[in-house]
Every structure is written in C-alpha cells, then in structure tokens.
Structure 1
Amino acid sequence: MQVELINHKDEESDSSTPPTKRAKSTNLNKGTSKKPTKAKLTPLESQFISLKLNHRDKLLAVQVGYKFKFFADDAAIASKILNIMLLPGTTKFEDLKNGKFAYCSIPDNRLHIHLQRLLNYGYKVAVIKQTESAAIKNMESSNKSGLFERKITGVYTKATYMGDEINTGDPNFYVKNSGDDGQLGDYILCLDELNAPQQISIVAVQPLTGDIIHDTFRDNITRDELETRFAYITPSEILVINNQSSISKETLKCIKSLNKGTMNIMHVKCPSDLEEEFVKSFEKITTDDNDLIQLSQYYQVNFSASVLSCVCELIKYLEQFKLANVFTITSNVNNFVNSRKFMLLPSHTLQALEIFRNETDPSSEQGTLAWLLNHTRTKMGQRLLKKWISMPLINIDAINSRLDAIDDLTSDFNHLIDALKNQLNSIGKAGSDLEKLLIKVHYSSTYNMERITRKDLYLMLKCFDEVFRMIKNFGEKPLLELKASVKSDLLKGIFEELYDLSKDGNLTKFLKLINPSEALNDRNVTDQKIGFFHLGQDPMTDDISKELEEISKVEQDLNTELQEIRKFLKRPNLSYVTNLKESHLIEVRNGKQVDSLPKDWIKISGTKSVSRFRNPTIIELHKRLQYHNELLLKNCDIAFNKFLGMIDNHYRFFNQAVKQLSIFDCLLSFTASSLMNSNYVRPKILPDEQRIEIKKSRNPIIENLPHSYSNYVANDINISYLKERVIIITGPNMGGKSSYVKQVALLTIMCQIGCFIPCESAEVGIFDSIFIRMGASDNILKGKSTFMIEMLELANIISNFTDKSLIILDEIGRGTGTNDGIAIAYSILKYLIEDPKKPLTLFITHYPSLHTLENDYPQVVGNYHMNFMEKGVKNEKEWPEIVFLYTLVKGVVSNLYGLNVAKLAGIPTDVIQQAYEVSERLKSIVEMENINKFSLEFCKLIQMIKKNEVDENYITDKLIELSRLNKL
C-alpha cells in the first residue's frame, strides 16, 4: 500500500526544531512522491532510495552490519528524538546535489529501545534487515561481491509494536526479556459514516490481545455517541473511510478534538466493489478454502455493509504489519453495546466520575475508580477488569453471581481455590502476559515471523501446564466438594471449565517436544535455537537433524585436515584457534616457520609474535561449515514456525483458559477491594424497583486517597421512584454537594459491577444508564461556548434517558445570565418531573427559587442541603462565617455563602464585605414572573431536539429568542 503524508512541512521541518509528539494525517490513496534529483550514489544509498520511494509515510531503519542507520529526513527526525549525532549531508530526500545523505546510527542490539521512543512520538517505522548472510551469499549467490539483499522485515506503530525486535542484534547479546512489557494495548479504529440514513459504523482492533469491537449507531450533532466510544476504546490510530470532504464536519471536529497529540488519522476511499474487496481481503489471511468460506459467511451474515467496509480497510492496513489474520479469530469479535446486558455510561459520565482518568492529573490513575478496584495480579486480568468497570451489569443473576463469589472467597478456606490463587500469583510475578503471548503465536504462525521468543513460548506453555496439572491432581472429588460449598455459579464455572480443559492431552505433547534447559537459555540464542527441540520425536525436526549430520561430517573433515597439518608442521599437539569470531585458524610463530609455509596458505590475522593462517582445504571446509550452520539456523526457524502453527490450531483451547483465569483474577481483585477497608458490605440488589437506599455511605475514592480523611462524614442516601425521586440539593460552596452526588453514582456503579460498597447497609435497584452533566468549560476545538455545550449535552440526556436512568445535573444554567439560568434550570427540572418515564434525578443548584417545585409536586420533589453552622454573626449587615458539616439534611438554603470560599482563598475582608452588600441588594431583583412562559417554550424545543427535528443553528437561534423573552 502506498502512503503519502499530507502535511510534508511537518516531516521536513528544519533540523533545529525540537521534536514534538503530534498526529500525522495521511491519505492512504495518493500516489508516491517524485523521485529525487539524480546524483552519484553509493549502492547502499540507491537501495535506500528504492525502498523509500514506496514507503514515504515511514521512517526507515536500515541494517548495515552491526548497526541500524537512518538517512536524510528520517535521520533528522531520529537524531532529535533519540538525541544522537547527525552526520552531515542533505536531509532533503528530493535533493541530492552534494551526492550524500545525512545519516545517524544506533547499535543493532539497542533497536528495541530506540524503536519504542520513535513510536511513542506517533511515527510509523519500517525495520529493514539484511536477508542474506555472508556465508550463504558466498555459497549460493552469483554476485558474491555485490550489495547484501535487504528487505522490510517489520513495520510498526505504537499500537502494533509488541516487542518484536527485543532480540535483534548479536544472537549472544543477552537482553532480559519477560513476557510482559507493561503494555495494556492501544486500539486501531476504522470509521465509516453514512448520510442516508445518518449513521456511523466503527470497527476497532487491539493487536496486542486480538480484541475486536464493532458497532453501528445513529448520532446527534455533538457526536456524543462517537465521543463515548472513543472514551472507552481510546484509539491511537484512526482510519476514516471516504475522502475528507465526504465526512461530516461534526465527525471530523469530534475526531480532532479528541486527538491527544500522537493519534494518527488516515483517510481512505470507500471500496468500489465491497463484495470483491471483501473476498480479496480474506484470501490474503487464510489459505484454506473451507476457512475462507466459513469466515466469509460469518462476517457477511452478521454485519452490515458499512461494518464490512471497515473490516476490509483494517485488513488492508494491518497487512503491512503482518497482523491482519487477527480477523480469523471470530471468537474475539464483540459488539460495543448490548443494551440487554450492560449499563450505559456516556463519555461525560466517565469523565465526571473519573472512572479511568484523573482529570486533575491525567498522567496519574490515582483517584479513579479503576485505581481503587485494581488489585489484579496479571495484565490479562487488568484488561478484563477495565471492561467490567466500563460495562456494569443489568442482569440481576449475573450481578448476584459476582457478589456471591466475593462472599465465597471471603468465607471458609478452600484448598482448591487457594491453589489456583497461588498459580495466578506465580503467573503475575513471572510477568507472563498469557493473552498477549497467545496472540503473538497466532500472528507468527501465519506470517512466518518470530514475534514470540522460544523462552516466552516455553514459559507460556509451562504456565498453562502448571494450572491444568494442579487442577487435575486435585481430582474430581475436591471439585464436587467446591461446587457444593460455594454459591456463585461464576466461581463454579471457572473450576469446571479449567477441569474440563485439563483433560486435553495436546499440551503435554507440545511440552514433550521441547528441551527445557535450552528453551530457557536465552543468553546464547544460537544454542537455544539448535537445542530447543528434542530431535527425532516429530518429522518437523528432521531437517535439523540432517544439517547437524552435515556439520558433523565437515567437522570430521576439519579434524582429519588438522591431523595432516600436525604431521606437516611436526607439532603433534597443534589445535585450531579462534580469534575475533574467526575460527579454524592455524597459529604459527613468526620467523622461519612462517617462511616455510606453502604460498597458498592465506594469512587471516596476526600479532608481532604469531600469524594465523588457513590453507585452501580449511578455507573450503570453513565455508561449508558456515553454510551448513546458516542452513541449520534456518531449519530451526522453519521447525519453530511449524510448531507455532500446531499450537495456534488450539488457540481457542488456550484462550478459554485465559478467559477463566482473567475472570478469577477480577473476582480476587473485587474481594481485595472489599476487604481493604472496614464496613464494606454486600448490597441487596432490587429486581423491579428503582430505589437507592444506603445507610452511612462513604465516598469510596476520597476515603482511600493518601491524605486519608480520618474524620470523613458518612451520609445516608434515600431516593426512590415512589417517593422523592427528584432531589434538589442546595448549600454552601465547598460544602460537599458535588462529592455527594458523585458518591451516589459511584456506589451505584460498584453495585452493578458486582462489588461490595462502603456503608452499613444498602438496597439498590438496577439502572440501565447514568447521565451526568456537571462543570462548565469551553470547548474551543469544537467551536462551542460553555452555554452551547451545556444545552447540547442536556439535549442528549433528554433524548436518551429511560425509566431506569439515574440523572445527575450540577449547576444547570450557570453558563448564561442569572435570569436565563434560573429559567433553564426550572424548565429542565420541570420536564424531568413531568416526563412519563420518571427518571431518578439529583439536581444541584445555586438558585434557591427552585425550591417551590416541592410545593407543586410534594410526592415527587424533595429539597435538601449540605448542612453547616454559622458563627461570628454580630448583626445582619455582616456576612457570616460558616463551618461545613458535610451531611445531607432536609430543607433549602437561601444563602449560598460563596463569600466564605472567598475568605478561604485569601480575599481581603473589606472586599468580601462589599461583595456581601451587593449580593443582598441583587436578591430583591431576581423574580420568577416570566419563567412559566419560558418553560413552556423551552419544553417545546426539548421535544424537537429529542425527535432530531432541529440542527445546531436552530437551537442557537431559539435559545437567543427565549433569552429575550425572559428579560425583565
């Protein structure tokens, strides 16, 4: 696939410009660039140019001996990022007037480290290696003195690199390598937008695990649905189908606004003949006709044309990375949204509750719900935990099964459970990411690449074997006893599944083929390759045995020749010497002995006292030995690849074990979360009642922060569909209003993911969605003001809430003037009160006048405030100082005490007193006389938004008109 950067200025900037992490927008359908001007080139430079012409979108790392070199503009970029010397020459690829490229270089055994740094800056890097050795070139090539053949052996981006080059370089250069490099894995996402009907389809792939997510949905003008999917998936690369002009400006704005600096955005054309493209795509990743038919049927039957377009483009894109065969594992394909199984948490909810991202310090996970609940032992468990947190359950049996598991894991000791826990601890301490290693086997077997090392493969198989052996050794009786003693069907299912898997004998057969001592010997990769298999146990190792026999014959001939040389030189104890990797040398002292040697003996090396030679026979035998050694290593790689294919045929078997171990890891994590603090209790889940009744509840995040709140104040939560389902909360600034409503939402989510919660007792209904609107901030990238963002987000909430939604609104109307703000807050609140779906609502406001709604709807609305005490009030003209009590109590607060916060911030007392006097005067100005009329018109606008009958411009004009109506 030929790719061209749209923004050439970015790639060809002046070398003095420091490197920055930034996205690169590319067009995958444009042709290659013009050829550089002619100049006298070295053969290596000519080879580089021929490769670069077809790979302009990549940095090329070219292997030259024991180094990797970057040339021209690639070198300018690499030298800045890697902080290495740039040797002089032209950095412009199209300009070679002085006939010399600038270049920089790195040692081959440091490629892995430097490669990661380049990828983290958002670049795509192609690794070009010498594909023939000197030995094979001398024996087989007709052009023995020509340039070494070089090919692209790997193309990588941040999302597609899996430590493939960790062992590049000297095979005997030891690099400590565990199966885990700390990655959880980035996604690559493809997006297709249709105008009739207006809908978006996405397919996202996580190469590190093989996870595939698809979805098709309709969206509003703010692209809230798309933004929600980006919040969950967080792609580092996006393919957009159609040309830039064909994608709506709203979608492009959404993509660009979510770009964190290193996201690559690429535009591709829509397939002209989808059916033909689809077949061609799958022919590239499977050679079996039956598999091709089954795959075609699976995708064509289950997915829409727009999803299939995304699949085709991702296969084409991933083919350059040799990862496209991920789509042959259909068991890893999942729908993003399944309304019958999971609670909906829009992106604004994830952000407001800081589920995964700390909004104060985005670089740290501390303070998030994911941080609180993550006590997993393995990376595969950590990935599954993130999915569990992002997709709370709405099936009561599934929720109770997780809660039952926590009860079971915290009750009586069970030897089988404890043994599996110890196995999981061992996997985690060893750093073996079984999920990642398993998908590496799949990629390697298809593309004849060694993405997984022999040591990692053996350790992976050994991990599985130890788990299965442990389960099998316990036998069926302890399993039956466990099933009788535990309540959780989920926990029972883990052990049943693992016990059934342990009966399979293929894993034992695989391990019998491996020589463990050599498999673990990664200090000498050459010896490891040769000794990895027990020879003679499988036909795939026959060629290895054959080459070992050939090598043995050559070595015998070399020994025979040595005997002759001993006789000739009259040195019976003479032996071959090795110097600087040159073996089979005859070392002779300088002087008469050297002078008497035959003229056809070739001097290889020497010192002042000795010279080292090879005679013609040794030269020939040495070449043959090198040749057969190279063939031996090739045959070892071929056999290893066949072995990977054998294991990959059982991918689903191993993957099922990974899933069960991951589930067990997550349950242990929830158990640890429930035990780390006192007074964590099991919530009672209500099947058919929308009610949250929690006694002495605590905010799970705040009480676990390092600056522990030892005097943290617990609060009751009582909100019900039948009584006071709409709660209006007022109170002083910094009094704890926002913390309280976030606490309600967090505890609800924790209940539905199957976790114990911090309180004395809890009865909680099942909610299918939580909508939150809080905070006020402009979004310049989206081109919208605070007020417009607020209105559009409210419109999205109103369009999507159900009778099982929990809605939290904080300071609605704050983004506009006081009168308009009161009118809008009143209108929204009244709409939620009167809507037939009757969602549970928590409404924080600084507008005390809204308390009158309790009188109008006494069984529906309740007024509450965060309690406090006044002190130091001498007369009515002075502003009072307050003490926060942080408890929710019945009643409304007319004074908002914002001036107390000003005092805490250090504002001078005389300024605060003046502000207090102005505030008291303004209270008499605000009236409600026009609000009812405003509310009626505003509710009409809401209904139009809900039915998707208006666009953004109409909403803006209507809000301006309503604002004029509300002027006093």
Structure 2
Amino acid sequence: MESPTDPSRPSGSSSRSSTTLRLLKTPVNSISRASSLTPHPTGGSSVPPRPSTSTSQFSSTSSSRQRRHTSTTSGRKSRSASSIWGSDSHEIICAVSEARGVSPTVGLAFVNITTNEAVLSQICDSQFYVKTCHKIQMYDPSTILIINTACAPNTKSTLLSIIEEELRGTTIEPLDRKYWSENAGLDFIQSLAFREDLEAIKVAIKGNFYATCCFAAAIKYIELSCRVSIVSHSLRVRYQPSEDTMMIDISTIHSLELIQNLQNAKSKDCLFGLLNETLTPMGSRMLRSNILQPSCQVDNPLMLRYDAVDELTVKEDMFFEIRKALKGFVDVEKLLTMLVIVPHQSFIHTAVQTINNILGVKAFITAIPSLYEALGTARTDLLSRIREICRPELTQPVADLIAAAINEDVTAMKSPLDMRNQRTYAVKSGVHGLLDVARQTYKEATEDVHRHLEELSRDHDISPVLKFDSYRQYWIRLRQSDFEDRDVPDILINRVRKNAWIECQTLALVQLNHRITDSHNEAIMLSDKVMQELLDAIRVHVPGLFRACESIALLDMIAAFGQCATTREYVRPEIGNSLALKGARHPICERANPERFVPNDVFANDQHRFQIITGCNMSGKSTYIRMISLLQVMAQIGCFVPAQYAAFPIIQQLFVRMSTDDSIEANMSTFSLEMREMAFILGNINERSLTIIDELGRGTSTRDGLAIALAISEALIQSNSLVWFATHFQQLTKVLGSRPGVLNLHLATETHDVDDGNLKMTMLYKITSGPVQKENYGLNLARAIGFPERFIEVAEDVSMSLAKTIDEKKQSSQSRKLLRRRKLILNLHDTLLQLRESDMDDAALGSYLKRLQDEFVARMDEIERGGQTDREEIIEIPDDEDESSE
C-alpha cells in the first residue's frame, strides 16, 4: 500500500507543530478532513494538497480540545514490560470502535509497523469494558484511534472515559467517522493480506463489522500520516477471537512475575526468564506473547505442542541439530518488514540499509536448509508442518534471485571498514557499467591511502598504524614514546592524545577520505537501482518468507520448552476436568534452590473448589499458591511442568491478588488497591476462572478485615471458580469449613525446645489436611529468629490476657447465655420425656422432680449471673437416685 507524499505546508500553519504524529520517528503532516482519497494501483491511495487550516482535522484548536495525552510514565513502563510485543521499541497503532447497547460489542485492530503484523478482534464486553481494556493493555499501542464523534464533550463515550482512566500515558487520537468503513476495511484486507490467507481471513471476519471498520481506520491513519508504503499482499493479517486465550490482567502479570522480576527488572527470576531458552529474537517474542495470552484450545495448539516437545526430548540428536541450526538466524521478522515498508524518498542511508537488508535475507535463506535437514527425522504433526514450510524449493527462487545480482562471497560484517567494503562490492561486476567505474575509483583511492602511509613512514621516520571508524574514516595511530626526544611533525593534524597513543590525520588523508566517501556513495546509489529491482522481485515471495519466519519462531519456542524439560525434569501435563499435581515444584524457586525445595501435591475438582490455606509465617503459603497459577500458565502455553504427575483443566481467566504495595501515583493505600482489585475480580469471575488470594484484609483493622474476607469468600464460593485462599484468619476455617466445596489445608511446622532453652521452629513446607492447630505461632517464630526474650514475654502476657478477656466476653455475652438457656431447657425436656416412660413409683418420682426443679433453677440463675462452670448444661439421673428407686 502506498501513502501520499508529504503535501505542501500551507501558510499560517506554524502553530501546528504540536500536531505532528510520532510514527516511525518521522515528522508528518496533518490529515485533511476534505481529502478525496483515490485508490493507488498497489492498494494505497493518493491525497491532494491539504486545504485551508480551518478544515484540518488535527488543527491546533481541535488537538488541544480532543487529543488525550497524559504524562504519567510509571504506568507506561509497567504496561510495556507486560506487553505482547514488548513495545518499548515497537510502533503500534490501535483502532477502537463500539456498538452502543446493554452488552456492547467492541471492535479492535492492532497494526504493528515494526514487525508488519495486524491483529483484528471483536469482543462482546460488559458495561465496564474489562476485556477491551485488557486487550489494549496487552498490546500497549503507541497511539489509540477512536471515532471523533465519541470525543466531543457533550457526547463523550463511556469507552473513551474508561480508556483514558485505565491507559494513562497513551496518545488518543480522534479520527473522522468517514474513515471507519467496512468496505474500505475489506478492500485493505483484499489488497494487503497474503494471497494464501485471504479466504481464511474473510471467513474469520465475516459478521465482525466493527473489527473490519477498525482495520480500515488504522490503515488509513498510517497511510495518511507516515511517509511509507506497505507493499501489496505483504501484511500479516489475522483474526484473534477473545475466547481463544486466557485473560490475565496486568496486576496478575506483575504479582506472578510472569515477564519481569519485581525486585530487579534485569533479573531472570521470572517465568519468562526461566523459559526463555530461545536462540532467536522471533522465538523470544513468541514466548512472551504466549505467556501473556495462554491458549485455551486443547487440540490445536496445546496437544500438538506437547507432542512436539515430547519428540524433542526423546530424539536428542535431532534436538541438538535443531538448536545448532537456530543459532544462524537473526531478527528475520524486522528484516522482512523493512523490505515491505518502503520510504517515498531515497537517501544514501536508505540505500545503505537496502543493501544490508538484502544481505540479511541472503543469510536467512542460507540458514534455512540446515534447519530443514535437522528436522529430517521429525514425525509429530507440528514438527512435520514446520519442516514442510521450510522446504528448500520454497526459498530457492529467492536464493536464485539474490545469487544472480549479489556476489556469492559477500556476507554480513561487523567492523565499519568491512561493512563499507561489503556494501561497495555487494553487486556483481558487469551488472551496471557506471557502478564498475565508481568501484574502480574507490579502489584506487583506497590504494592511495596506503601509499600515503608508506610515504609518511619513509619521510618522517615514524611508524603509523592505519585505523578506520565511521566518523573520522581513515586516521593514524602513533606511539607517544616515539616523540619523547623530538617534536611531532607539523604534517599531522587533528591530533588527540589518548593514553600511550596519538591519534591524528593529515590533510592529504582527509582529502582522500572525501574522495573515497564520494566514490562509495556513488557506488551505493548505483547499486541501489539494482537492489530495488531485486527487492521488487523478492517481494513477490515475502509471504512465504514470513511463514518460514513464523515457523522458525514457533520451533525455537518449542525447542526452548524441550531444553527446560530435559534439564529440569519436567513432565507432560494432561488436560481434563480436575487440577491434580503430584510432587509439584515452584519453577522459579526450584531454580534458585534446587536441592532444598520441597515438592507438594495439589488437587481440586467440583467437590473441592475453594481451598483455605493456613499456616505459620514463612511456612510457604504464598509459594504454594503461586506455584499452582504458574504451572497452569505453563501448561496452557504448551510447556511441560515441574512435577511427577500433572493434570489441568482449561482456565479462561486467571486472577491473582497478593501484592501489598500502595500506589503513590494513584493516591491509593494498600487497602484501597486491595479492594479495587477484589472488586475487579468479583465482577468478572466465573466457573472457568482460577483465583489466587493471599492475605486478604490485612490492610485494615482486624475486625473489618475478617468481615471483608468472610464476605468475599462467600462470593467466591458461589462463583464456582477454583480458588486458593491463603489467610491468617483462623475464624475463616471454622465458619467456612462446613460449606460445600470448601477444603481446609495448612503448611506443616514443627516446634520444639533445644538444649539452651530456646525455641526452634522447623518449617516442613509440606501441605497437610485441616486448619493450622498451633497457637501463638507468630510469637514462636519471633523467638526462634532471636527476638529479645523480654519483649516476647510481654507479648505472651498480653496475648494470654486478650485471649482470656475474649473468652470471658464469649461466656457472658447475650448470645452465649441464650445458647446455654436453650440447651438447658432442651435437656430438661429430654429428661422429662424419659421420666414419663419410666416405672418409678409416685413417691420416688416426686422426690426426683423436686431435686430436678432445684437443679434447673440453680443452673438457670448461674447462667443469668454470667458465671462459668465446667459442667455441661445436661441434667442426668444420678446413679444413687436410681438405686433408691429400686
């Protein structure tokens, strides 16, 4: 697709510098409201010069009124750290459109200009647009497009308000409604998508009106705002249903450390760092994308990936050959994108980049046959498909095109001088006559440099060393020790002293550098004509190259899973209706302490969906529940898991609440954040969710925290979600223990005295049935870690006093009195029923009833006074009375 050339800037538009769009690091002009768009033969359009300033859609006035941009950077960084493409270095345009209604339908289109991808999606969302915001957060776009009518102050849409609140730091641009056209979107798909994918894409987007309109808007925006063109049938377009992937919100991503360690951003102690054994940038990006959006489709891709990893772990020779072949690939995704994103104006640096791109494609084509051979013994469906896509006959036409124009021995270089020589001599001799002349001039000038150096050495009795860099071109290095007893010759200019060296040039050398640069630039520009013809021929085969690139990325990720499985003893999980783990291990903690980590068992089904985890401090509660969620993510990306046996259900939503940090930027305390996240969870949880809650309610008073934890627990039980709830509130285990589906567990601990009178606590880190039975384990832990004994004694006295007071209050409370009165009356009723059926004579019966009456009145008075008694409120017939009756 071709976009218009930069229209002439009208007079009086100097105030519009703030409206330029930051795409591809290139300043651009505004979009014309009155532009008439004429289709371009290659699928793009051309735009006439922009009319007067008053009609510009992005005028300074409308920009100040409609553009939404905040300067908060902290949220931006956190999102980019958790985005699908890792979008710190990616330019991503997102278009959003909605259908107003009770259950609004939202269309989304993401276009990544950096990697030449487009993702379309249509979501049936709630009134709070949770799924929409989550989807946008995952892709972290640099610009969000929305229909201009939704931005007007009097008709501002709820969706826009929520996006502004949730995605602070992202530029939001209003775009004229006329660009949101389904027909235009279908035309763009027809002209830009791979020919082989057209029919499948058309079937996928059929009926998804809003997603198609968003795609049209995103492409129009790029077309009108960037001085670039997208070549026809070269854009990777795919439709992604929201129900095909697990939803993981940003808070959960950070809490579980899926992508980044919370303490050290550069540390590899996160799930991505653990599994990232990939050898190519494409494989690393695919792994990142899969961790943030695990698949919910069992047969394809999960089972296919399990089979492929299984085969790689069995066939060691094939596995090592694949890993060896993968080392030969660079970032092919970005390389191929550079071939299809074409600038409108050609400069010397673009010509240089074109030659580098051609050589990169050559290296890519050369590396594919070795990967094809490495997959020769593959038998599983997934590996066989990858091998089929990498067949040499599919890439041979591109290899032949390159071989016809490029010298066979030219390869990618790293040193500046080698790179310049490589670019100069990349095209074969005889292809272009003037190019050969420019090369001859370049060669002669280079030889003159070496002759000049020999003359300097002979005439001035020095030992110059010729050096080269991109800034100074050729320069000379001399030892300072050679000039201790004499002056530096005046012929040497631009002298710089660095340690034991003198770096300098001569006037003749500077002139030769200019001569070489001119001949080099001429050779590059003449080579560029040949390269452009070669690129035009290669672009026909770009769809096949992109498919090969995606297959290599997938293979790299699968091989990384195989590397983890073989070196860390992971097992293949099963997919079913229950979650069952035997000997499961926390993948990150295990790597840090492989010898000390204690495996644990996990089981959950419909009868045990809500599990309360109690235990002493530092007993491993948080590690245990984190392990469950991490292993669920690993299983749903197709990776083996650290366990002796593993079975998982398919989870569509993962919620984790365990952070205790406050948010200074949002002016929210720890408890406020906790309640906001729990409100989000309760509003979106269902029976296909997995929820992990750690220490809910500890950010406020004990009474309020317990009440909130109990209320939320009741709601979570009713949701039928799989829930693991770690808490120190012992009352929860008593109140909820009898509820259907609730299971009490605790992490075992041993406490015993040592010889010197001190207390020693041993954490067993083993999950055990029932609630924790130990009392005052917080004080015991404080004593075990060496807290001063005098403080411990005071704390124990206070604890015992509080416990006694609470027990007395329970005994004297009205509810306690009522319970005891009822129990006493019920026992009296039972006793009277027994006496009615007895064979006692009237005298004995009267005597017993008199004693029974006195005992009942005495106990009732004791209850009313609030007194305590060790006797049960049970009235029994004494043995001596039975004997007297006989």
What interval of TM-score do these two structures reach, taking the shorter chain for normalisation? 0.5 to 0.7
Matched, 1:457 2:358: yes
Change (3 A) 1:501 1:322: farther
Aligned to 2:236: 331
Matched, 1:857 2:739: yes
Aligned to 1:533: 427
Give the CA deviation at 1:329: 3.8
Change (3 A) 1:673 1:31: farther
The root-mean-square deviation of aligned C-alpha atoms, in Å, is 5.1
Equivalent residue letter for 1:737: K
Does 314-323 or 457-466 show the bigger shift? 314-323
User: Aligned partners of 1:60, 1:750: CA distance in 2, in Å?
Assistant: 37
Residue by residue, what CA displacement relative to the aligned partner does 1:87-128 show, whole Å, maximum 9, x if unpaired?
Answer: xxxxxxxxxxxxxxxxxxxxxxxxxxxxxxxxxx99xxxxxx
Aligned to 2:433: 545
Residue by residue, what CA displacement relative to the aligned partner does 1:911-956 show, whole Å, maximum 9, x if unpaired?
Answer: 444344444455528989999xxxxxxxxxxxxxxxxxxxxxxxxx
Give the CA deviation at 1:376: 0.5
- Contact kept, 8 Å, 1:693 with 1:719, in 2: the verdict is yes
Q: How does 1:868-947 map to 2 (within 5 A)?
A: 868-872=749-753, 882-893=761-772, 895=775, 897-900=777-780, 908-922=788-802, 924=806
Aligned to 2:550: 659
- Contact kept, 8 Å, 2:613 with 2:744, in 1: the verdict is yes
Aligned to 1:138: none
SS of structure 2 residue aligned to 1:712: coil
Change (3 A) 1:865 1:401: same
SS of structure 1 residue aligned to 2:638: coil
Give the CA deviation at 1:869: 1.8
User: Aligned partners of 2:322, 2:399: CA distance in 1, in Å?
Assistant: 19
- Contact kept, 8 Å, 2:98 with 2:210, in 1: the verdict is no
Aligned to 2:572: 682
Equivalent residue letter for 1:889: T
Aligned to 1:668: 559
Matched, 1:756 2:637: no
User: Aligned partners of 1:371, 1:930: CA distance in 2, in Å?
Assistant: 59
Change (3 A) 1:649 1:718: same
Change (3 A) 1:665 1:871: same
Aligned to 2:138: 232
User: Aligned partners of 2:527, 2:162: CA distance in 1, in Å?
Assistant: 52
Q: Which runs of 5+ in 2 are unaligned?
A: 4-9, 28-71, 74-79, 81-85, 444-490, 494-506, 509-513, 816-886
User: Aligned partners of 2:371, 2:518: CA distance in 1, in Å?
Assistant: 46
SS of structure 2 residue aligned to 1:370: helix
User: Aligned partners of 2:778, 2:604: CA distance in 1, in Å?
Assistant: 28
- Contact kept, 8 Å, 2:229 with 2:343, in 1: the verdict is no
User: Aligned partners of 2:288, 2:438: CA distance in 1, in Å?
Assistant: 54
- Contact kept, 8 Å, 1:443 with 1:451, in 2: the verdict is no
- Contact kept, 8 Å, 2:657 with 2:694, in 1: the verdict is yes
Residue by residue, what CA displacement relative to the aligned partner does 1:745-776 show, whole Å, maximum 9, x if unpaired?
Answer: 11122222222222222233332332222233
Matched, 1:393 2:295: yes
Aligned to 1:421: 323
Equivalent residue letter for 1:532: A
Aligned to 1:350: 253
Matched, 1:188 2:86: no
User: Aligned partners of 2:368, 2:549: CA distance in 1, in Å?
Assistant: 11
Give the CA deviation at 1:462: 3.1
Change (3 A) 1:701 1:287: closer
Aligned to 1:844: 726
User: Aligned partners of 2:552, 2:163: CA distance in 1, in Å?
Assistant: 37
Aligned to 1:373: 275
Change (3 A) 1:307 1:296: same
Give the CA deviation at 1:734: 1.7
Matched, 1:491 2:383: yes
Residue by residue, what CA displacement relative to the aligned partner does 1:627-659 show, whole Å, maximum 9, x if unpaired?
Answer: 999776534323322322221221111011111
Residue by residue, what CA displacement relative to the aligned partner does 1:777-807 show, whole Å, maximum 9, x if unpaired?
Answer: 4345445554444344333323333333222
- Contact kept, 8 Å, 2:229 with 2:344, in 1: the verdict is no
Change (3 A) 1:461 1:872: same
Equivalent residue letter for 1:395: Q
Change (3 A) 1:315 1:697: same
Give the CA deviation at 1:61: 11
Equivalent residue letter for 1:232: M
Give the CA deviation at 1:512: 2.5
Give the CA deviation at 1:282: 8.6
Q: How does 1:25-64 map to 2 (within 5 A)?
A: 32-34=13-15
**TM-score (structure 2 length as normaliser):** 0.64
Aligned to 2:466: none
- Contact kept, 8 Å, 2:230 with 2:342, in 1: the verdict is no
Matched, 1:713 2:598: yes
- Contact kept, 8 Å, 1:501 with 1:657, in 2: the verdict is no
From the two aligned structures, give the one with the greater helix fraction.
2
Q: Which runs of 5+ in 1 are unaligned?
A: 2-28, 36-51, 63-120, 123-158, 160-181, 556-604, 614-622, 932-968
- Contact kept, 8 Å, 2:748 with 2:766, in 1: the verdict is yes
Equivalent residue letter for 1:765: P
Equivalent residue letter for 2:337: I
Equivalent residue letter for 1:210: N
User: Aligned partners of 1:768, 1:406: CA distance in 2, in Å?
Assistant: 23
Q: Paired residue for 1:642, among 513, 526, 533?
A: 533
Aligned to 1:775: 659
Change (3 A) 1:296 1:407: closer
User: Aligned partners of 1:550, 1:367: CA distance in 2, in Å?
Assistant: 54
- Contact kept, 8 Å, 1:519 with 1:531, in 2: the verdict is no
Equivalent residue letter for 1:794: M
SS of structure 2 residue aligned to 1:273: helix
Residue by residue, what CA displacement relative to the aligned partner does 1:394-432 show, whole Å, maximum 9, x if unpaired?
Answer: 3333323222222211223556x65443221233xxxx2
Equivalent residue letter for 1:897: Y
Aligned residue pairs total 670
Residue by residue, what CA displacement relative to the aligned partner does 1:451-486 show, whole Å, maximum 9, x if unpaired?
Answer: 8342442242233234237747x9xxx95xx35xx3
Residue by residue, what CA displacement relative to the aligned partner does 1:696-751 show, whole Å, maximum 9, x if unpaired?
Answer: 2111100112xx35222121112222x32221111112211011000111112222
Q: Paired residue for 1:212, among 114, 118, 121?
A: 118
Equivalent residue letter for 1:412: K
Residue by residue, what CA displacement relative to the aligned partner does 1:253-306 show, whole Å, maximum 9, x if unpaired?
Answer: 7657766xxx5x434233142358995999999899x99x99998999675447
Equivalent residue letter for 1:755: C
Aligned to 1:602: none
Change (3 A) 1:195 1:319: closer
User: Aligned partners of 1:434, 1:297: CA distance in 2, in Å?
Assistant: 27
Change (3 A) 1:510 1:927: farther
User: Aligned partners of 1:342, 1:769: CA distance in 2, in Å?
Assistant: 9
Change (3 A) 1:873 1:799: farther
Structure with the greater alpha carbon radius of gyration = 2
Equivalent residue letter for 1:698: R
- Contact kept, 8 Å, 2:609 with 2:742, in 1: the verdict is yes
Q: How does 1:783-802 map to 2 (within 5 A)?
A: 784-802=668-686
- Contact kept, 8 Å, 2:661 with 2:670, in 1: the verdict is yes
Change (3 A) 1:680 1:789: same
User: Aligned partners of 1:891, 1:53: CA distance in 2, in Å?
Assistant: 64
Change (3 A) 1:809 1:717: same
Aligned to 1:156: none
**TM-score (structure 1 length as normaliser):** 0.59
Aligned to 1:435: 333
- Contact kept, 8 Å, 1:224 with 1:347, in 2: the verdict is no
Residue by residue, what CA displacement relative to the aligned partner does 1:232-261 show, whole Å, maximum 9, x if unpaired?
Answer: 3244555566448576689667657766xx
- Contact kept, 8 Å, 2:191 with 2:232, in 1: the verdict is no
Change (3 A) 1:502 1:672: same
SS of structure 1 residue aligned to 2:230: helix
